[in-house]
Amino acid sequence: MRISIIACIALLFFLSCANNRLVKDIEQFMNRQIVLSADWDAVYKGRDTVLTDFLEVPIKLVVWYDSLGCGSCEVGKMHEWNKITAYADSLAPWFSIVYLFTPSRADLRSVDRAVRIDKFDYPVFIDKDAAFIRQNPKLPKNRRLHSFLLDKNNKVVMVGNPLHNPTLWALYKTTIQKMMDNNGVLPEQ
């Protein structure tokens, strides 16, 4: 019994520290300007494409998959984003989603192949040279923070993956609407 109480206290302490770290990471990431590159390969419905003004949309949700996870596995789950993608389409030209993969050299070929085979009905960007990481060296390491909303100045205004969190998605939609009403920026509270 005593060991389980100590284990519970240790777990609570660990969760508290982990949560404090997450909050600190979010605070450091908010309002940071993010560089997006037109040099990434773009694939739409399985084919190479050129998107000249896609990254110029005032409000962008960046969904970034780094090299630490299984990139081709994530491509296989892209259909889960269909509802959010449809929402983005309904708000064009104000809002778009930037699906970005920065695979490791070893995973590059499988990610590229998966994106082409999957034929996702929305542009997917592949950052073959890890330029996104080089141009944004202060990106959070925590994968829970690899989805974030940018304003028209490419500043982070929200952080978190809304895919499986209806409350967060509702907050994203409210924030997007406020930004649309304020010419692409979040008004001061």
DSSP annotation string for 72-91:
HHHHHTGGGGHHHHHHHHHT
Exposed (0-12), middle (13-18) or buried (19+): which is 130, by Cβ within 10 Å?
A: middle
Nearest to 52 by CA among 34, 41, 37, 38: 38
Residue 66 neighbours by CB under 8 Å, 6+ apart? 102, 133, 143, 146
Across 136-153, average pLDDT: 92
Q: Determine the pLDDT at residue 7.
A: 40
Cα–Cα distance for residue pair 114/99, rounded to 1 Å: 14
Categorize the per-residue pLDDT at 4 as very low, low, confident or very high, splitting at 50, 70 and 90. Answer: very low
Mean pLDDT of 21-31: 82
| CA 67 to centroid of chain Cα atoms | 14
Residues in the chain: 189
pLDDT of res. 5:
43
Instruction: Judge contact between 180 and 59, C-beta under 8 A.
Output: yes
Residue with tokens 């600190």: 24
- Could you tell me the pLDDT band of residue 171, with boundaries at 50, 70 and 90? very high
Compute the half-sphere exposure of residue 157: CA atoms within 13 Å on the CB side of its CA. 25
Average pLDDT along the chain: 84
Per-residue pLDDT at 154 exceeds 60? yes
Residue 74 predicted with pLDDT over 90: no
| 172 pLDDT more than 60 | yes
Q: Is the pLDDT of residue 82 over 60?
A: yes
pTM for the structure as a whole? 0.86
Q: How do residues 37-67 score in pLDDT, each as one tens digit?
A: 888 888 888 888 887 678 889 999 999 988 7
